[in-house]
Chain A
């Protein structure tokens, strides 16, 4: 009897997970296997594909310094973006979490609002703001501050700007969730024991919100490190990120085998980041962030 009951208990999570697992298997795991297989094919000069087991793509990807440089650049841009998102995201998250306003839900809705507009359109909007005929240049030239419009777009800074625009809500939400979970009595207790508001923040609120900060950081880094649209729209010719190489190989050159090998490199590298993160910080917070 007891054994049967235990067995039933063990099965239940799997039954509940099965739709998700099926979807992931069909749409993610199997296609990924195809990509792995592709990466060992070869693209012929004629533009066709040579089926077989060739290591040429892999040798190119793993030995060419160019790919390593771009990977490093990708990491740098993603890291800068993540740090800036953390710095810029904490304050709004703190404000929403501890605001005495009754319509906190409304503030959260405002935070979600950007998601209603396509990410591409949001990114392109920067062209209207910072472009040569954009709003900022219009103001500067009409006020006579500059005689010629300034070229502000198409460099690493604007790529980071676009990424922050894209990723900040994820950071704010994650920090918000962990701040929201902090018992307000803890701060009151710290204050009653003699700490100033800032000391109480440093000793209690900040350390207890670190899991959310870490989860938001991971999301920003992985999403930022895997994007190609932002550098495509807002970056210059030298500001490519790794995913741009994949885009270039697959969409422009139609070189699927090389693109596949590059995809797997990015997948493995970002996957390794996630695993390392999980090892040291735990991912429980991310689940909460979406809950």
Chain B
């Protein structure tokens, strides 16, 4: 492969509803065969973006390309896309066979081929024997599989899924997550998946696009957005983060010493362009599961150890979430439990490693942070 083709490209795409801008100048590439997730709180513009790609909404400005072709003026029925909705949207008056065969009718496919491809699609979603039933005779999970079969049987250029798992109960959701991923891999089809569930986004995607208020906050692999959140919003939206402000007290090539307001000094590794100079303002994030609690820590060069007291314990079985007071600061820590959790009022030591202290972009701090969680 000399160059990876893009299944979908957005160039400065904007969507306004009257005065209200739902999507601000958004640019994005979805490479062939990749699984990209739009994640963000409700109302941040995920669905609107997806609907623009599908052709259900017209972009106010900017270009949308599918397989290199500008599609802004191409109506939805000529775009060759597979669309899956949260509420399945199966045709209630048509049998499962007719539902899955629907898209093939408009593609000059002969009867035998239709029957064969429908059968293959139903096999792929592991529901081979329901052809003659009506949608209402199937469970929610089964209906969603049929909706998926209906979308992929036409061999679309891109698969677009808008919160397809949200209507399912927790167990089924996990099962479908694996299943969806398997099918996507098997077909090698470029997929855009919309969700407000950060766990889903991290588990399924090749790339995650974190959105808020119509902007892309960050785009990257699940690991990048999780470990290296670019903004306070991302740090807060994906998991629990301890956020702090401070100033750089001492900067060397590989370690920065930061004086946290109302708290201790923390060590951090410098990020490109951030916190390089003495006196710089800094905004820090430390993930709750990177705050290690113990009665005693061995000191080392690359971490800071702080005294604290357990305020409250949220017992979760294999792990516990602790609320810890250390000096003037409150911390949250999620630690695996070794036999017994710490108890309320217990004195503990917090160990913060330099590698776990994320220096956020101070210019983007506060942006959309209110929406977090």
Contacts and interface: CB of A to CB of B under 8 A. Distances in A.
A185 B85 CA distance: 8
A191 interface: yes
B92 A208 contact: yes
A199 interface: yes
A190 B94 CA distance: 12
A207 B93 contact: yes
B140 to A, nearest CB: 15
Interface stretch (B58-66, B99-107, B212-220): B99-107
A57 interface: no
Given A191-B76, A193-B154, A186 B91 contact: yes
Chain B CB within 10 Å, residue with most, of A194, A203, A208: A194
Contact of A194 (B56, B77, B93): B77
Interface residues of B, number: 26
A148 to B, nearest CB: 55
A194 B82 CA distance: 10
A8 interface: no
A51 to B, nearest CB: 56
Contacts, number: 59
Contacts of A207: 93
A204 interface: yes
Given A188-B89, A207-B93, A195 B106 contact: yes
Nearest to B160: A192
Contacts of B334: none
B235 interface: no
Given A194-B103, A195-B77, A188 B56 contact: yes
Nearest to A200: B77
B38 to A, nearest CB: 18
B20 to A, nearest CB: 14
Given A192-B82, A193-B150, A183 B93 contact: no
A112 interface: no
B106 A199 contact: yes
Nearest to B92: A208
A192 B102 contact: no
Contact of B83 (A189, A195, A196, A204): A189
B154 A194 contact: yes
Nearest to A199: B106
A175 to B, nearest CB: 16
Nearest to A186: B89
Nearest to B56: A188
A193 B85 CA distance: 13
Nearest to B85: A185
Interface string A215-238: 000000000000000000000000
- How many chain A residues sit at the interface, stated as a range, is 10 to 19
A229 to B, nearest CB: 39
A183 B107 contact: no
Chain B CB within 10 Å, residue with most, of A185, A192, A196: A192
Contact of A192 (B81, B87, B107): B81
Contacts of B103: 193-194
B54 interface: yes
Contacts of A192: 54-56, 76-77, 79, 81-83, 151
Nearest to A210: B93
A101 to B, nearest CB: 14
A194 to B, nearest CB: 3
B8 to A, nearest CB: 15
A208 B87 contact: no
Interface string B277-292: 0000000000000000
Contacts of A199: 106
Contacts of A186: 89, 91
Contacts of B80: 194
A192 B152 CA distance: 12
Interface in B146-196: 150-151, 154
Contacts of A208: 92-93
Given A183-B89, A196-B77, A190 B102 contact: yes
A193 B82 CA distance: 7
For the complex of A and B, the 8 pairs showing the least CB-CB separation, nearest first, are A193-B103, A194-B106, A185-B89, A192-B83, A189-B89, A191-B76, A185-B85, A194-B77
26 contacts: A183-B87, A185-B85, A185-B89, A186-B91, A188-B56, A189-B83, A189-B89, A191-B76, A191-B77, A192-B54, A192-B55, A192-B56, A192-B76, A192-B151, A193-B77, A193-B102, A193-B106, A194-B80, A194-B103, A194-B154, A195-B77, A195-B106, A196-B77, A203-B102, A207-B93, A208-B93
Given A190-B91, A194-B103, 14 more contacts: A183-B89, A185-B89, A189-B91, A190-B102, A191-B77, A192-B54, A192-B77, A192-B83, A193-B77, A193-B102, A193-B154, A195-B106, A199-B106, A203-B102
